[in-house]
Structure 1
């Protein structure tokens, strides 16, 4: 019995509620995710480009609706009443996403205190996002609204200096030339589809399985405007009933809870390879401030990311580590950017 039907049963009759309670105990729980990105995890001793990111995400349990579901707190219902235009109508299952994060961007050379015109600007951004997942079978639609601030108010200099002091890394001296304070927004839309693949020929009977998750979408806003598409291939034991493990893009980890209420309590794990290609019309961290004069570089219009990693789950916990390689983002960039990410998920 699906999550929506069971939730309706709980609100309807006591008899049907008892039949559905065991399912709801599994799928009516939120998930909290912590993701850390850093180029030091890339294995090439880089400290440049997208150099550090921290993202905390809360994914709601399966919901009856976005306005009156008993699992939603009052603040979430108030937000949802103002964002009905962002919500998807056609679904079997829905849930809500909220996240808060910081991203830091620096040039290659940490030494100069003067502006380096042939390298990317110093930039820091704080972002809060609200989004909605709508699942229909093996299809998932995700819409998100991201609001935040770029500039000194995002405290990139203070955060990087404190971390580098603890780990003994060099201090970056050019933060006086970072992008100026500017409010930012971004609308994100992405569609994903999960494809079951044939059994692995050399591992029949071992429980090893594989699947493919394709995606396409785009973003619009003064933080960034682009169109993107890509895919993720996974192979492993007891693949999760979700839509991917790779945080290559903003919607990559915000997947819906599984349709089935059966959570495997033992160990499970898989290997994944993911790719994403973007046609970039605007990137504030490269093009500079929208309404103010600032440092900028000549960005490339097409950028691709390739990542690979492993994900391990046990009961309500999930751990994933990924290594990412990105093509050059602007004309003067010398090295291909690399970074690593570590993600911890916990269902409550």
Structure 2
């Protein structure tokens, strides 16, 4: 169903990757497009976390403000996430009869920083403001997209969660477990989000294998910004990564409705308090461009969800500027 779009995206990304020819420049800015969709696992299903689209702009800080910091980056991001129940086609009656999680959209903008320390520790934090509910335009985006590419008619968006403005803060910390080499890196991870849209905490590990740059210069942390040709280990960095985590959930407005709303929507669900998430994929990068392909396996967020887990893929393309 979406195979032509995927192939086109891959070909475009590979073309841009090969065409990057400026070897002497030092780049300080980066623009990234990220697309996530459950159809990228080639199941032709449209359920649970159905689609995400994100635009991200990052730039290198003029000074690190600390002798312990190797790299400091700023970023701004805008994105939309769309959530569906197990069934969203056939007829309104059938969809509502089998609804196992709410319809929801989350539209936001955020600011964040990435700090890579000299001892290979990494700290990222973000603050986001947005809206969950009809104001996020999930219904309009999904239904119009289906019309444009000739997919099936959608039913059930009448049962999406109600509008609520959201304010959320998150932090991610990566602690090296062993000294990184040219081909191997291992970090313990800790993450936490606090807000009226999402509140959760998770822990796990991050394994990276391949032809790796130094931690401060790896494309995994957008470290190619500020790197000159003499500082690179490889003309092309190749990363295979695996990040399994265990998450404790306290609140999720896309499942439970707005935290501060009395009327949350026609249908809401109870959260699973503890879930696992596995993220894996590859990344290719030279000093001007990066291409990534990710795969996510996530245990069901809501107790009412029919499938025991949700699977979705992601692609990302980055280009850097002086």
After TM superposition, the score normalised by the length of structure 2 is 0.80
| Cα separation, 2, equivalents of 1:163 and 1:183 | 25
Which of 290, 295, 307 is matched with 1:323 structurally?
A: 295
| Cα separation, 1, equivalents of 2:190 and 2:148 | 40
1:214 aligns with 2:193: no
| Cα separation, 1, equivalents of 2:241 and 2:123 | 21
- The 8 Å contact of residues 232 and 244 in structure 1, kept in 2 or not, is answered as no
| 3-state SS, counterpart of residue 337 of structure 1 | strand
Query: Could you tell me which residue of structure 1 aligns to residue 38 of structure 2?
Result: 39
Show CA shifts across 1:118-158 (max 9, x none): 51111011110011223321112222111001111211111
| Cα separation, 2, equivalents of 1:325 and 1:240 | 29
Structure 1 residue runs without a partner (length 5+): 1-23, 67-87, 200-207, 246-252
- The 8 Å contact of residues 213 and 244 in structure 1, kept in 2 or not, is answered as no
43-52 or 260-269, which deviates more:
260-269
Alignment CA distance shift 1:95-1:105 (3 Å): same
Alignment CA distance shift 1:162-1:151 (3 Å): same
- The 8 Å contact of residues 148 and 183 in structure 1, kept in 2 or not, is answered as yes
| 3-state SS, counterpart of residue 196 of structure 2 | coil
- The 8 Å contact of residues 63 and 93 in structure 1, kept in 2 or not, is answered as no
Greater strand percent: which structure?
Answer: 2
Query: Could you tell me which residue of structure 2 aligns to residue 69 of structure 1?
Result: none
| 3-state SS, counterpart of residue 158 of structure 1 | helix
Which of 253, 258, 262 is matched with 1:284 structurally?
A: 253
| Cα separation, 1, equivalents of 2:314 and 2:166 | 24
- The 8 Å contact of residues 60 and 226 in structure 2, kept in 1 or not, is answered as no
Q: Pairwise CA RMSD of aligned residues?
A: 2.8
Greater C-alpha Rg:
1
1:121 aligns with 2:94: no
How far apart are 1:284 and its partner, in Å? 0.5
Query: Could you tell me which residue of structure 2 aligns to residue 332 of structure 1?
Result: 304
| Cα separation, 2, equivalents of 1:296 and 1:169 | 27
Show CA shifts across 1:2-61 (max 9, x none): xxxxxxxxxxxxxxxxxxxxxx962x6111111100000123332101100011111111
How far apart are 1:162 and its partner, in Å? 2.0
| 3-state SS, counterpart of residue 31 of structure 2 | strand
How far apart are 1:333 and its partner, in Å? 1.5
Show CA shifts across 1:86-111 (max 9, x none): xx997444221110000000111113
- The 8 Å contact of residues 322 and 341 in structure 1, kept in 2 or not, is answered as yes
Structure 2 residue runs without a partner (length 5+): 1-23
Which of 69, 74, 77 is matched with 1:96 structurally?
A: 74
| Cα separation, 1, equivalents of 2:126 and 2:165 | 17
Query: Could you tell me which residue of structure 1 aligns to residue 20 of structure 2?
Result: none
Show CA shifts across 1:278-322 (max 9, x none): 100001011112213222112100121112211111331110101
Show CA shifts across 1:160-191 (max 9, x none): 11222233322221112211221111010121
Alignment CA distance shift 1:267-1:135 (3 Å): closer
Show CA shifts across 1:186-231 (max 9, x none): 01012113455687xxxxxxxx711113320201101110111122
Q: Name segments (4+ residues, structure 1) moved above 6 Å.
A: none
Give the paired residue count: 288
Alignment CA distance shift 1:65-1:315 (3 Å): closer
Alignment CA distance shift 1:130-1:105 (3 Å): same
After TM superposition, the score normalised by the length of structure 1 is 0.75
